Structure 1
Amino acid sequence: MTSLLIVDDDQYIREGLKRLINWKALNITRLSEAEGAYEALELMEANRSHIVLTDIRMPKGDGLHLIEQIRLRNWNTSIVVLSGYNEYAYVRQAMKHHVEDYLLKPIDATELAEIIASCTERFQGQYIAEQMQRESFQLLKNNILLRWVQNRIQYDQLREKLKFLQLPLLMNEQYQICIIDWHDRQEGELARNEEQYRSFAILNSVEEVLLESGRGIAFLNEYRQIIVLFTDEGNDSESFRASNQSWMLELAKQYGEILKTPWVNYFGKVTCLPRLLHESYSEALAQCGINKGLQKTDHELDLISQNPIIRQVERYVQEHYSEELSLQLLSLHFNVNAVYLGRLFRKETEQSFNDYLNRIRLNHAKKMLAVTALKATEIATAAGFLDPNYFFRKFKRVHGISPSDYRLSVNNLTEQ
């Protein structure tokens, strides 16, 4: 995940540094070397390293020149300086350019490992923060657009939020919704990886061609279908509708074959008012829902959150409660950072993910206790609890009685 460049004119020192510590243990995945500043800058231009470990005095471009050039280019690089006891004046100059630290020769392996560890931790922290920022923006965009088509946002709020997102969508003359569905009833339930692949592969493809054509924008709903919002500034409604249908039909043929996935388009009506966009979406969703059986099932619990991502998580938990589930696994499934997903889940549902998961599993356990003759330990496993003792403790803490006593109480009520 982190790359490091060793810069020293002495080949034996470079080889010694490469063998001095366990770089993989410090998450250094790429280790390269250069014999001077000029070669180092060429390497950095081609494949930038996160950390540079450089000597000060070298005939083929000294370390100070390298450090100055890195800072002039505004590269976000951690620099560690190697120096001799008689080079302190050079080190002081280097420190002016915000180097991470400096090491005196001969190099102490423990000290070097500690310095590199602090550098890699900083880069990993920055990476996570940047990922969370990007994901947060994407989630916000998806959430606002979905609330718009579902008629769950005031128009003045919509205008302000689209302005913040730099999406000039309210100045158009016509709008139409198309829902892309990738389900196939003949296939039955899909594997998690296949669902994720189909949804995001189609979304990425559609986003790319929409960006090139300027026809509109794409995002996801809670069923992980792709919503395409077409916009138009001047054509008559019939031409607009026909153009959208023809364009999407060609897209389905081309990319459906490339991606090896089902692809069916469902269109809503054309509307001239952004306030009535939900009517186009409802029409498209009704067609899709009727044909694909996407309506809420009787056994499904009510969804708490209005956030589209968290609603997907809730729905997934309700359908897969008996399987191994964790925020880490769900973050991979929904392509969201695990830390961010946990915080968002708590904010939207006012409970932790583990509390929510246990509640779903305990509800199913109660039903099985009431209507089956399975042993409590068997029910614990069927409900998704790997440890029966944990299940017994949780059940009693939540319901005040043991699973066996609960079954007796239910049976006594039915006998009366």
Structure 2
Amino acid sequence: MKNILLVDDERWVRTALKWTINKLNLPIHVDHECQNGLEALDWIKQNNVDLVITDIRMPIMDGLTFIKQVRDLDLNVDIIVISVHDEFQFVQDAMRKGVTDYLLKPIDDEDLKKCLGNWLKKGMEIQIDSRNVEESFPLSTIDKVLQYIQETPLGEINLKEAAKKVHVNPSYLSQLFKQQVKRNFVDYLTELRMEEAKKILKTSTLRISEIAERLGYSDIAYFSNTFKRMTSFSPSEFRKVKDE
């Protein structure tokens, strides 16, 4: 069963989508609903989901910003966007950010069924490819990935580029990395970034925003919250304690 997150500021749209998805009798479950991108981003950082269906125009944080933030986190999640006919330029932008597909409002039941069916089919093909690769792919793959991580600036590392280096799809690499290293790729990278952040805070006067950017975080608040979660100090508190 695949899990879906619905993101739309209009409650009736979310309700209609959920009702239609349940009616389609596909191996899909609507796990959660959010009314804007910021709420969805907070939720997805703490929960696993296979697919996000998100509107483009929303208050607080729009769909395009939300998509960029999700991609910055290197989360292994597919995204389908919802738009109206006069927003095609936004759809193009979303597709460049790695969106799987799009749906036009008002959403037709058949279009939704076809869209979700294609997504499920693509997922099955990836799983089959991954199993075939796993039977013959040498375990030295992870050594190559670890070497890539060691040789690349931390702010430039992401799962997609790592997968390109070893010629596999990101989904397969994510699974293999967890099997061999016993940690998720994102968690492993986050630990390295936080260790580097501590070194920079101790040895430089760079602003917190500059450190965050250097380590690949476009959201300073997210960087600071992650640092505090892993060290019990905010970046500014850590720097102050170091100087005492």
Under a length normalisation based on structure 1, what TM-score does the superposition of the two structures give? Answer: 0.31
- DSSP 3-state at the match of 2:54: strand
Q: Is the 8 A contact 1:37 1:60 kept in 2?
A: yes
Aligned equivalent of 1:102: 102
- Counterpart-to-counterpart distance in 2, 1:8 and 1:164: 40
The answer to whether the aligner puts 1:49 opposite 2:40 as a matched pair is no
Superposed displacement of residue 165, structure 1: 10
Superposed displacement of residue 96, structure 1: 1.4
In angstroms, what is the RMSD of aligned CA positions? 2.9
Equivalent AA in structure 2 for residue 115 of structure 1: C
- Counterpart-to-counterpart distance in 2, 1:109 and 1:7: 18
- Counterpart-to-counterpart distance in 2, 1:91 and 1:165: 35
The answer to whether the aligner puts 1:71 opposite 2:71 as a matched pair is yes
Superposed displacement of residue 115, structure 1: 0.6
- Counterpart-to-counterpart distance in 1, 2:83 and 2:142: 49
Aligned equivalent of 1:122: 122
Aligned equivalent of 1:412: none
Unaligned runs of 5+ in 1: 141-160, 167-210, 212-416
Superposed displacement of residue 23, structure 1: 6.0
Cα–Cα, structure 1 residues 58 and 124, in superposed 2: closer, same or farther, change >3 Å? same
Cα–Cα, structure 1 residues 163 and 24, in superposed 2: closer, same or farther, change >3 Å? same
Equivalent AA in structure 1 for residue 108 of structure 2: D
Deviations 1:372-395 (A, max 9, x none): xxxxxxxxxxxxxxxxxxxxxxxx
Superposed displacement of residue 58, structure 1: 0.6
Aligned equivalent of 2:37: 37
Cα–Cα, structure 1 residues 44 and 162, in superposed 2: closer, same or farther, change >3 Å? closer
Deviations 1:295-338 (A, max 9, x none): xxxxxxxxxxxxxxxxxxxxxxxxxxxxxxxxxxxxxxxxxxxx
- Counterpart-to-counterpart distance in 2, 1:133 and 1:88: 37
Q: Is the 8 A contact 1:35 1:60 kept in 2?
A: no
The answer to whether the aligner puts 1:87 opposite 2:112 as a matched pair is no
Superposed displacement of residue 65, structure 1: 0.8
Aligned equivalent of 1:8: 8
Under a length normalisation based on structure 2, what TM-score does the superposition of the two structures give? Answer: 0.52
Cα–Cα, structure 1 residues 109 and 36, in superposed 2: closer, same or farther, change >3 Å? same
- Counterpart-to-counterpart distance in 2, 1:55 and 1:163: 41
Cα–Cα, structure 1 residues 6 and 163, in superposed 2: closer, same or farther, change >3 Å? closer
Cα–Cα, structure 1 residues 163 and 33, in superposed 2: closer, same or farther, change >3 Å? closer
- DSSP 3-state at the match of 1:91: helix
- Counterpart-to-counterpart distance in 2, 1:25 and 1:113: 10
- Counterpart-to-counterpart distance in 2, 1:58 and 1:162: 45
Aligned equivalent of 2:227: none
Equivalent AA in structure 1 for residue 32 of structure 2: S
Q: Is the 8 A contact 2:50 2:78 kept in 1?
A: yes
Cα–Cα, structure 1 residues 39 and 83, in superposed 2: closer, same or farther, change >3 Å? same
Q: Is the 8 A contact 1:2 1:123 kept in 2?
A: no
Cα–Cα, structure 1 residues 114 and 59, in superposed 2: closer, same or farther, change >3 Å? same
Aligned equivalent of 1:233: none
Aligned equivalent of 1:214: none
Aligned equivalent of 1:356: none
Superposed displacement of residue 108, structure 1: 0.6
Greater alpha carbon shift after TM alignment, 116-125 vs 21-30: 21-30
Q: Is the 8 A contact 2:22 2:29 kept in 1?
A: no
Bigger RCO (CA 8 Å, 6+ sep): 2
- DSSP 3-state at the match of 1:54: strand
Q: Report which of the two has the higher share of helix.
A: 2
Alignment of 1:255-404 (within 5 A): none
Superposed displacement of residue 15, structure 1: 0.5
Aligned equivalent of 1:144: none
Cα–Cα, structure 1 residues 86 and 3, in superposed 2: closer, same or farther, change >3 Å? same
- Counterpart-to-counterpart distance in 1, 2:92 and 2:83: 11
- Counterpart-to-counterpart distance in 1, 2:89 and 2:141: 50
Cα–Cα, structure 1 residues 130 and 24, in superposed 2: closer, same or farther, change >3 Å? farther
Superposed displacement of residue 25, structure 1: 2.3
Cα–Cα, structure 1 residues 55 and 131, in superposed 2: closer, same or farther, change >3 Å? same
Cα–Cα, structure 1 residues 165 and 103, in superposed 2: closer, same or farther, change >3 Å? closer
Identity among equivalent positions (%) equals 35
Equivalent AA in structure 2 for residue 119 of structure 1: W
Q: Give structure 1 regions of 4+ aligned residues with deviation exceeding 6 angstroms.
A: 161-166
Cα–Cα, structure 1 residues 55 and 130, in superposed 2: closer, same or farther, change >3 Å? same
- Counterpart-to-counterpart distance in 2, 1:115 and 1:76: 19
Number of residue equivalences: 144
Deviations 1:144-203 (A, max 9, x none): xxxxxxxxxxxxxxxxx998999xxxxxxxxxxxxxxxxxxxxxxxxxxxxxxxxxxxxx
Equivalent AA in structure 1 for residue 60 of structure 2: K
- DSSP 3-state at the match of 1:4: strand
- Counterpart-to-counterpart distance in 2, 1:87 and 1:95: 13
Cα–Cα, structure 1 residues 30 and 82, in superposed 2: closer, same or farther, change >3 Å? closer
Superposed displacement of residue 53, structure 1: 0.7
